[in-house]
Structure 1
Amino acid sequence: MTPDSPVPPAPPTATYRIQLHPGHPFAAAEADVPALAALGVSHLHLSPVLEAVPGSSHGYDVTDPTRVRAELGGEAGLRSLSRAAREHGMGLVVDIVPNHMAADPRHNQALRTVLRDGPHSPYAAWFDIDWAGGGGQMLLPVLGERVGEAGASTRVEDGELCLPGGLTLPLRAGTAHLPLPELLDAQWYRPVWWRLARTELNYRRFFTINDLIAVRVEDPAVFDATHATVLALLDEGVVHGLRVDHPDGLADPGGYLARLHERSGGRWTVIEKILADGEPLPPSWPVAGTTGYDALRHVDAVLTDPDGARTLLEQYRAFADPEPEEGGEWHSTARRAARHVVGHDLAAEVETLVRTATRVCAADLRLRDHAPWALRTAVRELLVRVPVYRPYAEQSPAETAAVLTDEAAEQARAAFDVPEEAHAVDVVRGLAAGTLTGLTDAAGAAAFRARFAQVASALHAKAVEDRAFYQYVPLLSACEVGGDPGAPALPPEAFHAFCARLQREWPGTGTVLSTHDTKRSADARARIAVLADFPHLWSEFLTGAVRRAGKDAAAAVGLPFVWAAWQTVCALLPDDGTPLSEGAGPYADRLAGALLKHAREAGLHTTWTEQDPAYEEAVERYVREGLTGPAADQLPALAERLGPYVRAHVLGAALLHLTMPGVPDVYQGSERDRRSLMDPDNRAPAPAPGAALRALGAGSRPTGLDEEKLALTATALRLRRRRPGLFGAASGHHPLTARGPAAPHCLAFGRGPADEGPQVLTAVTRLPGALDRAGGWRDTTLPLPPGRYVDLLADRDPDSGTPHPGCRVHEGEAPLTTLFAHRPVALLCRKED
């Protein structure tokens, strides 16, 4: 086949994330290409493009990795989008899903053949199925009732097993004539009541989602089969870069990434790796870096008031009086959540580990006589103490020890009443770390090590991000992917150190503030984070709102939920004091969906699988009659009071993101003021910025935060595209320190080639509430590097970035009262004489 185009020689300067789905296919994205090119991005970042479950709104439920999704326009539509992007100087980055596929036998034909032919199917190697663990059958948790109750509605028709609900499954050859009990026993699968999945499931899944079955890409043949289409699109220049979804779910992430790097020709690739504070990305991985949640953590935290965050925590404890392990203390809450998940949601995964460990011990005389219950206890106790997502095979002994520490092992041993039984901890720790060598069942030991790491990543995600983040709610803006709610604020020194490390080690890494997976968009989080600037104003508002909504209504849902609900309301507030009642219908619907999800994820009163209808009705009533009723009357006044500080936070976060080391990814619509909550709210389509950009380009001044953010985003992105050397691998990160009484409130740095010094300077206002209370900027100044600088956010030519005649020139130092006279941020560019 003839290549569509040569591969662009340079990595992205900035990407723009587009959520594709049947209602917004390739053709819709193509229509937006001119506007996105005008915005200044270099690459479009597409959600998964391969065949998925019909109607899927996200595409991560892949059914056929060999075909481009027909509902999006097929391969022809993707090629047309690529050509349109190239005509406007842009490339494509696509999201790939190596870890899992849809466990849907109606549409996943590879899985369907496995159900028919079992381990003899040519596709059996694709999927991570423990046939021995299921007695030779794959458990299918697809029934809404026990199989005995479903039997009356189960029949054989046209050579297939027809189950209640319309699901049909293929039959093993020669079994269609059998009576139903014998027929079910004769299959390679076992259809069961969905609740059995928690303890009996014998295929690896994505986290706890039964509908997504894991794929064994560690097998070279499986890798080749599932990646051939994407690699061909790369080779032909249709696609130019990759985003890898959830590599922590893989058996060997490092090995997978090495193979991908080799087969892709070293294309720019970022991975959805969530790093804990201080956790390094394995340096041997051949990737540009992460998708950027570590950057999100640092940008949010450096703009959060540490004193105010502590006050909010004290107020929360006084208001809600939560138990320490149910939201009163962060580490206790996270540990309790981990214990719950490992003993309930991931019980089947733990049992797989126990079976594997039991076989390894039985095969080796040194390890015999460890009871399964003791191994199970050791597995659970060590899993809940893994402080990061997972350990890796390529880690050194010291790095492994940092994950499975002596202290963790000692604490795990304390769970045993008989000290001699606690030796199981040493066995499990040695298997998980790979330090037990010379074992008879070396393959089993390797399988245990890989699976332990995979379960650890699922546990961390489900326990921390999908449970504890919804229980510990003093400041919801800190409860974000990659965040640390126990330490919601960081000093500027930590932010600069992080940026310096990125520039030194991962200059091409991705950075983000909003994604399809963030629990709240950046601008929604900004409105919550600003509450830390004004904790006493928040307390006063909340007290009045709860009183007006009624104590009985609050008691029905619980005070921790009430606190979180009103912070969620604040996340959606417009900054101009517009009464929310004008859009109360859609607004209330969005709140109701997000807060019901919040309650189920928290799991304190209702869950996804054990729903409490009475409690959920109380949540709905509180949304409809409390959050959008008379109790909300003071919301416009609160929004108006906080508006200037929200503006500083929104614009400051955006400018930091767009100019710090790394490659910024702009989530669809977030080039403007986008206030969205957790999915599906954050996946709603956003209009392209074309008309607004044209108006600004025609000389119109930005009015309101929406246009201000758009103008800032376009200015920064166009500068990155026009002068990539100022921000790329050869650039540097140069912290700048203000002088004067308000110096801590100015966060500034320079970018530019390391051998030439800073040529572009970023300066933002930090903690504006405390700044005002301290008397403002007064005589604080920002010393500037040599040269003469103009603010690109002041009057300028929108395309070239050239300042208009008469723009103020800054040299030597800039008084902050002057620099921030009209806006709380500045982007200074050195003038070329």
Structure 2
Amino acid sequence: MTQRPRSTYRLQIRAGFTLDDAAAVTEYLADLGVSWAYLSPLLAAVPGSDHGYDVVDHSRVDDARGGPEGLERFAAAARAAGLGILVDIVPNHVGVAIPRANLWWWDMLRLGAASRHAVAFDVDKRVAEGRVRLPILGSTPTEALAAGEIVIDTTPADDAPDGTLSYFDHVLPLAPGTGALADDLPALLDAQHYELRFWEDQNTDLDYRRFFAVSELAGIRVELPDVFDESHREIARWITDGLADGLRVDHPDGLAHPGDYLEHLADVTGAAYTLVEKILEPGEELPSWWRTDGTTGYDALVEIDRVLIDQNGVDELDALDAHLRAETGLPAAQSWHDLILTTKRKIADELLQSEIRRLVRALPFGIVGAEDALTEIVASFPVYRAYLPAGREHLQHAIDDAARRRPDLAESIAELAPLLFDTTLEVAERFPQVTGAVMAKGVEDTAFYRFTRLGTLTEVGGDPSIGSISVDAFHDAQRSRLASWPHSMTTLSTHDTKRSEDVRARLSVLAEVPERWSETLTELRAVASTGHGPLDALLWQAAVGAWPISTERLTAYGLKAAREAAEATGWQHPDAAFEKGVTAIAEAANGPAREIVERFVAEIVTPGRINSLSAKLLQLAAPGVPDVYQGTELWDHSLVDPDNRRPVDFAERAALLRLLDEDAAQGILPPIDDSGLAKMLITSRTLRLRRDHADLFDRYRAAGVAGEASDHAIAMDRGGVIAVATRLPVGLARRGGWGDTVLMHRDLPSVDVLTGRKIDGGPVRLTDLLDTYPVALLVEDR
């Protein structure tokens, strides 16, 4: 029988926190109440990689992360602590930033089609005579040669018998027999199995599949049995040898056939617990036929965030955004739907034009205007991708929408339509891989940084046009998860979230005090501004949401945000003059604007913490498998990566947990203060209860709340446990508190496991139940 976790705890394994370091915290995780440890990718990655998603060798655990012996020691420590093990794997792509580090890539570059590894890479043989285009030059090849930037070394090496070619830090192998051409460099370059190209050609003329727009991550063809077997042999061994119990699959939407891949994975792992990193748009469901236990939890994150947001305030923040745009001379804001059409079209026209052009080359016959028409259809695609024959309605929607918006392309679109539905054609197989990449880059990495009125809304998996959901809608979503995907992960923070859960919880308060935020933002912009009102709003939200934050961290976030938005600056062509305004805001936050920032943070910090504690309890007690991202059992005010991958002080956390337990034994409860102990209390008590008494969490019903302030409570009955959380705390305070509001409780005594307080049977006044914390976790005394 497949083992499944009751909760997980994500650990980022890297050179600075190896598998042996992780082994040292297993007892702490067990004490916290965690069921399984959840590890970031472990296979050998590009040297110096801090995340591990750029695998270079599928046959071994990364030495920098502890190596195979480190994994053995970690597994032993985890088992001794009673923990299961979940490991993140990366089937879609490999790292090629340092070619020599990747045997498969290096061998293909040296031998071309004669390499046994060439088949693993998705290279378009229809261009460049089958040569792999490498966009690494800062100029044209002719200019690089003339400048003496390309250096040939014919000294034989074990992996390069004919020598190497170097371009600054880039080192490439010479093809067999070509070292003799060292006196004729143009001829030597022409004789290689790769073609050196200007770096911007990656946007338009790349000939190999990659991860999104990252040319240093080359896609591999795991749909081929030999490639799957070679890239998964070590992974399968982890399961069969008891070194891991389950797998988290990174970016399955990049694969040609995700469903088939999951079937094959289940076969070689004995149907081990498996999760997929899948973004679901509103109303979209995870394919029911996939052999998976669920998603990595962004759908749950969005539900929890939205139920804690005031829709009326979101409307006022929309008005503030319109004012900022008008004030700074920007065009009126587009609707969310129109905005993402714009940004997706921009991505398809620019960063991912190479992928669109490959679709054109894959057409069985020429179609006038095919590139423009395909780009419109891709931009109109409403979800990440279809899995034909399932998802035909999404493809039809995109075709119809593109034809409606571009009647000048209607004839071309009509010719393309049957080809995109025909799964026997290459273009139909590749099209879904492209729509997913364009969605990710156009929405998460562009539009999210342009739609700035409330940062909480622009989180992975979220649709910012939905500002809030009702308590009833929240309950419906939880019932659906329990019925359909009871072992799906739920999350609040990950290594990929744009903001940590506590930053979002604090920023959600802005929707309860939009007028105060407007006044404060005006003050802040008077101190420092980029001249772009909506971007100013984003950056100053980052400052107050993550406060206290260093100038260095805020600068790094600000530059990333501005470049991702790609309105006034960008990654490929940064505008140094504009970016001075970004830096000025970061410097002002800890300088002349500090008093304004601290005054406003003081106003919102308490309701922000109430939101944080409510969100944490809802996540931990609701259906699914809750994950705790490393360090977030205390307050964590991190921004987008790499900020959210900073080191975690586990020794401090272990000491605080011991203190917490010692105090609790004496009836001493932690206050809601800067220490974060209140959050650790809620995290540990709920995790322990789920681990030790899973039978108490076997159902889901909305628990009844009645009274004048009932809209401010969310209560769920999990079978033997009732969780109660507060929502919209500013509004609750304005109305004078809970008043006569009661939790409709069975006529059985209970214990609040957070406070140890005994609760009599029958209705419970929330003003009494929630007088210590804004949340409660009741276990009936049967």
TM > 0.5 fold call: yes
2:751 aligns to what SS in structure 1? strand
Identify the match of residue 672 of structure 2 among 699, 704, 713. 704
Which residue does the alignment assign to 1:412?
403
Which residue does the alignment assign to 2:595?
633
Which residue does the alignment assign to 1:110?
104
Equivalent pair of 2:620/2:626 in contact (CA under 8 Å): yes
Equivalent pair of 2:478/2:623 in contact (CA under 8 Å): yes
1:387 equivalenced with 2:382 (yes/no): yes
Which residue does the alignment assign to 2:562?
599
Equivalent pair of 1:276/1:482 in contact (CA under 8 Å): yes
1:128 equivalenced with 2:122 (yes/no): yes
Which residue does the alignment assign to 1:777?
738
1:376 equivalenced with 2:367 (yes/no): no
Aligned-pair CA distance for 1:120? 2.0
**Counterparts of 1:324 and 1:382 in 2: how far apart (Å)?**
28
1:651 aligns to what SS in structure 2? helix
Aligned-pair CA distance for 1:788? 2.1
Which residue does the alignment assign to 1:676?
638
The residue identity in structure 2 corresponding to 1:509 is S
Which residue does the alignment assign to 1:748?
715
CA deviations 1:51-80 (Å, max 9, x no partner) are 001111000010001111011111010010
**Counterparts of 2:75 and 2:330 in 1: how far apart (Å)?**
53
**Counterparts of 2:375 and 2:407 in 1: how far apart (Å)?**
12
1:100 equivalenced with 2:93 (yes/no): yes
**Counterparts of 1:414 and 1:275 in 2: how far apart (Å)?**
25
Which residue does the alignment assign to 1:619?
582
| TM-score calculated relative to the size of structure 2 | 0.95
Equivalent pair of 2:380/2:401 in contact (CA under 8 Å): no
Equivalent pair of 1:510/1:662 in contact (CA under 8 Å): yes
Equivalent pair of 1:252/1:393 in contact (CA under 8 Å): no
Aligned-pair CA distance for 1:34? 1.1
Q: Closer, same or farther in 2 for the Cα pair 1:518/1:155, shift >3 Å?
A: same
**Counterparts of 1:60 and 1:155 in 2: how far apart (Å)?**
31
CA deviations 1:393-418 (Å, max 9, x no partner) are 351xxx311x123574254265253x
Identify the match of residue 737 of structure 1 among 691, 704, 712. 704
Aligned-pair CA distance for 1:785? 3.6
Give the alignment's Cα RMSD to 1 decimal. Answer: 1.7
Identify the match of residue 522 of structure 1 among 497, 501, 510. 501
Which ranges in structure 1 are unaligned for 5 or more consecutive residues? 1-7, 362-368, 436-441, 574-579, 581-585, 752-757, 796-806
1:466 equivalenced with 2:436 (yes/no): no
The residue identity in structure 2 corresponding to 1:313 is D
Which residue does the alignment assign to 1:365?
none
Q: Closer, same or farther in 2 for the Cα pair 1:175/1:476, shift >3 Å?
A: same
Aligned-pair CA distance for 1:712? 0.5
Identify the match of residue 351 of structure 2 among 341, 345, 348. 345
Aligned-pair CA distance for 1:726? 2.6
**Counterparts of 2:436 and 2:232 in 1: how far apart (Å)?**
23
**Counterparts of 2:312 and 2:639 in 1: how far apart (Å)?**
26
Which residue does the alignment assign to 2:159?
none
Greater Cα offset, 408-417 or 128-137: 408-417
Query: Which residues of 2 match residues 487-506 of structure 1 at below 5 A?
Result: 487-506=466-485
Which ranges in structure 2 are unaligned for 5 or more consecutive residues? 156-161
Identify the match of residue 150 of structure 2 among 147, 151, 154. 154
Equivalent pair of 2:5/2:35 in contact (CA under 8 Å): yes
The residue identity in structure 2 corresponding to 1:649 is N
The residue identity in structure 1 corresponding to 2:418 is G
**Counterparts of 1:468 and 1:745 in 2: how far apart (Å)?**
31
**Counterparts of 2:533 and 2:121 in 1: how far apart (Å)?**
45
Which residue does the alignment assign to 1:315?
320
Equivalent pair of 1:44/1:93 in contact (CA under 8 Å): yes
1:704 aligns to what SS in structure 2? coil
The residue identity in structure 2 corresponding to 1:643 is V
CA deviations 1:288-325 (Å, max 9, x no partner) are 00000000010000111111111111112113337887
Identify the match of residue 422 of structure 1 among 401, 410, 417. 410
**Counterparts of 2:141 and 2:101 in 1: how far apart (Å)?**
23
Which residue does the alignment assign to 2:657?
693
Equivalent pair of 1:546/1:631 in contact (CA under 8 Å): no
**Counterparts of 2:617 and 2:631 in 1: how far apart (Å)?**
16
Which residue does the alignment assign to 1:38?
31
**Counterparts of 1:129 and 1:383 in 2: how far apart (Å)?**
21
CA deviations 1:789-814 (Å, max 9, x no partner) are 2111113xxxxxxxxxxx33231211
Indicate the percent of aligned positions where both proteins have the same amino acid.
Answer: 39
1:561 equivalenced with 2:535 (yes/no): yes
**Counterparts of 1:98 and 1:129 in 2: how far apart (Å)?**
17
Greater Cα offset, 629-638 or 713-722: 629-638
1:59 aligns to what SS in structure 2? coil
Q: Closer, same or farther in 2 for the Cα pair 1:792/1:394, shift >3 Å?
A: farther
Aligned-pair CA distance for 1:644? 2.4
Aligned-pair CA distance for 1:337? 0.5
Which residue does the alignment assign to 1:755?
none
Aligned-pair CA distance for 1:428? 2.3
Aligned-pair CA distance for 1:605? 0.9
1:189 equivalenced with 2:139 (yes/no): no
Greater Cα offset, 23-32 or 323-332: 323-332
The residue identity in structure 2 corresponding to 1:609 is Q
The residue identity in structure 2 corresponding to 1:249 is G
Aligned-pair CA distance for 1:326? 7.7
CA deviations 1:472-492 (Å, max 9, x no partner) are 100011111001111121111
The residue identity in structure 2 corresponding to 1:469 is F
Aligned-pair CA distance for 1:327? 4.9
Query: Which residues of 2 match residues 122-521 of structure 1 at below 5 A?
Result: 122-151=116-145, 152-157=148-153, 158=155, 159-178=162-181, 179-321=184-326, 327-357=333-363, 360-361=364-365, 370-371=367-368, 374-395=369-390, 399-401=391-393, 403-406=394-397, 408-409=399-400, 411-412=402-403, 414-417=405-408, 422-434=410-422, 442=424, 445=425, 447-521=426-500
**Counterparts of 1:262 and 1:243 in 2: how far apart (Å)?**
16
Aligned-pair CA distance for 1:426? 2.5
CA deviations 1:266-304 (Å, max 9, x no partner) are 111111000001100000001000000000010000111
Equivalent pair of 1:275/1:294 in contact (CA under 8 Å): yes
CA deviations 1:246-278 (Å, max 9, x no partner) are 000000000001111111111111110000011
1:764 equivalenced with 2:725 (yes/no): yes
**Counterparts of 1:557 and 1:95 in 2: how far apart (Å)?**
42
